[in-house]
Amino acid sequence: MTTRKKKTASQRPSHFVGIGASAGGLEAIEAFFKNMPPRSNLAFIVVQHLSPDYKSLMVELLSKKTEMPVHRAEDGMEVLADNVYLIPPKKNLTIFHGKLVLNDKGSTQGINLPIDIFLRSLAEDQAERTIAIILSGTGSDGTRGVRAIKELGGMVMVQSEESAKFDGMPRAAISTGVADYVLPPEKMPEQLLAYVAHPYVSGERQSDLLLQDADALTRLFAELRDKTRVDFTHYKPSTITRRIERRMSVNQIGDFENYVEYLQRYPGEVQALYRDLLIGVTSFFRDPEAMQELEEKWLTGLLRRISDREIRFWVAGCSTGEEAYTLAIMAKEAMERHGLSRVIKVFATDIDRDAIMTASSGVYPESIAGDLTPKIVAKYFYHKEEKLQIARHLREMVVFAQHNLIKDPPFTNIDLISCRNLLIYLQPVLQQKVFDMFNFSLNPDGLLFLGSSESIGEMGDCFEALHQKHKIYRSLGKARSMHYDIQVRSREERRRPAPGFDVRGRDRRQAESDAGRIIRQYLQVAGEHYLPPSVIVNERLEIVHFFGDMQGYFRIPAGPAEYNITRMASGEMAIPLATGIQKVFRTGETLSYTNIRLRQNDEERAIRIRIWPMPEARGYEPLAAVFFEQMDRPPVALFDEGVSFNAGEEASQRIRDLEQELQFARENLQATIEELETSNEELQATNEELLASNEELQSTNEELQSTNEELYTV
């Protein structure tokens, strides 16, 4: 059925607005459209929870509140601007190429979530031209849909909880953290029109303009790194600019320079942009065909092959944990089906601390049941208030941790790595680094599971494709070195466009990659034939890299594996290395020790140690280079001769330093003890006051009891 106030010209809408509502939603929908102008070049699709047993009068009721034509959706109906479309009863609604598609509700599919179904299809069909609005209702329908809208560049509005007749759906949508605006329905139209009128949203201004302001981009990246400890410089420009434009549109800021200033003034906006940049949509058993292929053909084989040790999975970029729990469920089901018993540990990591906290709790909205079979829900979940929680035996299989895939060390001895739809946001230089880490982490014949739009790039010599369509690969067990250069840029260079945002980025990145390869090859040759044995260490005295043959200079100590240079050093080198490296980091000046005695192959010989601070790069920890030279060789001209090492003097100096540190620690400990004693006295006094109050109350109680008895006698 269709009611029309007046004829409208057929035109394609600038944006598609999906509105989800349930109980109490009629009032909110009427309030929204009562304040929405009839000419906005937007199309509105309303998805309500309707009773299948009664005829819906929504078309007639809503037509009285708006001048826009109101339609009951029909299969194949084209969505036009300045029109309203309503879902009919007993149907699920999706959209494909701008046309509505109706499907019958399945009677055996369990919980039905029409709002999620429509919003997810809308996100896939229209991407950044989508707007999701969640109004009053019970339950959590729409929660997954708004995340899909946000991931693909759309905007999300949610009715404020206090204005909603039933706040279940708004509260669930707000809890996802993706809502751009939380408003009462009558105030939404004004904000909606302001958003779509923004130059970046309407298309009046091109995205490339952001890339041309290199100085503002540098300041924005620096602010993000300072507040979040994450460097987004080498993320894909298209992703970065799209997210920045969205935040500028939400805040109604038209100039990029002004937005950077706004970002610097308001730390909350830094966190909002950070969340937008990290937004990741995940779900249980996402991409079912790929999951089925992995479980039936490759995961089962892995479980059969490994029986004498713990099997280790790593889910990199796990977001809120759905994929990690999915792998755990798949492993459980495969073991049960084939009568196997294995110890499995799933390591799930993400850079987003809030996402990790959500994942660790294992609590999800009831709407996740739409992605699961009733059997899986009954077996691995239990109801907790209005939500579903992962069963304890499954949670114990998964270990969640905050982890920066680019900077932090990788996990080791891994049998399966799942990293899906994360690499597409990184530039090739970071993708290569991640693949090198995965190659290092995986055991031979270990499995690598990527997203449908990702590939292994230039790592074909390390991985064998098992299923090209579903991106399942096997590690060939080939070792590759992981070298990454730290480049120091001058002030003038910093003012140039950031490397990842050069319009000739691909050629430039290729040149940088070739240059890095040449430098690594050169260092390998120089280290073997000319340079003395050397190491690079950090301020914690940890060895970061070895160059040349270190035999005789270092040994592997017993106990847990560690790279502390003082523990690994042979002979008398521990003391000069510890004191020298600390002095170099403290003063920033080079240092040289000579005449250090070292026994090698039953022969004692003298060596020279050179310690040189390396050029610092902003955002990276300070490093120092340590060179070891035999005294019978002429010294390298870059250094002076150095001071002769006297073990007694250096040991005495080391002892004095340690005594000073010990004295400082004792003073701190004494101060802490005094504070604890003071706190203990205060607690004792408080306890005595409570005891006195208790006695008074007891006395009062006795008096009341006596009075009560007297009254009873009277």
pLDDT at 43: 93
The whole-number pLDDT of residue 447 equals 93
For the stretch 289-311, what's the b/e string if a residue is b when 16 or more beta carbons lie within 10 angstroms of its beta carbon?
ebbebbbeebbbebbeebeeeeb
The overall average pLDDT reported for the chain is: 79
Supply φ then ψ for residue 390, to 5 degrees: -60, 135
Name residues whose C-beta falls within 8 Å of residue 577's C-beta, 6 or more positions apart in sequence: 541, 565, 566, 569, 609, 626
Please say if the pLDDT value at position 637 is more than 50.
no
pLDDT at 45: 93
**Residue 95: its pLDDT value, please?**
92
- Residue 558 CB: number of other CB atoms within 10 A? 5
Q: What is the CATH number of domain 288-475?
A: 3.40.50.150
Q: Show the beta-strand stretches assigned E in 261-386.
A: 311-316, 344-350, 363-365, 381-384
Mean pLDDT throughout 413-428? 86
Q: Quick one: which of 246, 49, 232, 271 has its CA closest to 139?
A: 49
Say yes or no: domain 531-645 is CATH 3.30.450.20.
yes
Tokens of 303: 């479980």
Q: By three-state DSSP, how is residue 17 classified?
A: strand
Question: For the segment 250-263, what is each residue's pLDDT rounded down to a tens digit?
Answer: 888 878 888 888 88
More confident residue, 297 or 672: 297
pLDDT of residue 212: 65
Residue 79: the pLDDT is 92
pLDDT of residue 653: 64
Mean pLDDT confidence for 271-298: 82
Q: Residue 509 has what pLDDT?
A: 41
- Residue 490 has a pLDDT of 34
Highest mean pLDDT, choosing among 242-246, 475-479, 538-542, 636-640: 538-542
Q: Pick left, alpha or beta for residue 213 (phi over 0 → left; psi -120 to 50 → alpha; otherwise beta).
A: beta
pLDDT at position 328 is 93
The proportion of the chain whose per-residue pLDDT surpasses 70, expressed as a percent, equals 79
Alpha-carbon gap, residue 713 to 700, rounded angstroms: 20
Q: Is the pLDDT of residue 159 over 90?
A: yes
How sure is the predictor about 138, in pLDDT bands with cuts at 50, 70 and 90? confident
SS (H, E, C) 597-638: EEEECCEEEEEEEEEEECCCCCCCCCEEEEEEEECCCCCCCC
Q: Residue 11: what pLDDT? A: 82
What is residue 4's predicted lDDT score, i.e. its pLDDT? 45
119 touches 147 (CB < 8 A): no
Q: What is the pLDDT of residue 331?
A: 92
| Of the ranges 380-394, 522-536, 680-694, the best mean pLDDT one | 380-394
Tell me which residue of 33, 28, 26, 20 sits closest to 132, measured CA to CA.
Answer: 20
In the predicted model, is pLDDT for residue 703 greater than 50?
A: yes
* pLDDT score, position 505: 41
Instruction: Point out the residues that are catalytic.
Output: 22, 49, 141
- pLDDT in the model for residue 107: 54
pLDDT at position 278 is 76
What was the pLDDT predicted at 219? 83
pLDDT above 80: residue 75: yes
pLDDT above 90: percentage of residues in the chain: 15
Q: What is the pLDDT of residue 121?
A: 92
- Mean pLDDT of the 90-99 span: 89
Query: Tens digit of pLDDT for each residue in 550-607?
Result: 777 887 777 666 778 888 887 677 888 888 888 888 888 888 888 787 776 667 778 8
- Report the candidate in 518, 599, 511, 515 with the shortest Cα–Cα distance to residue 555: 599
Q: Which fold has domain 2-197?
A: Rossmann fold (3.40.50)
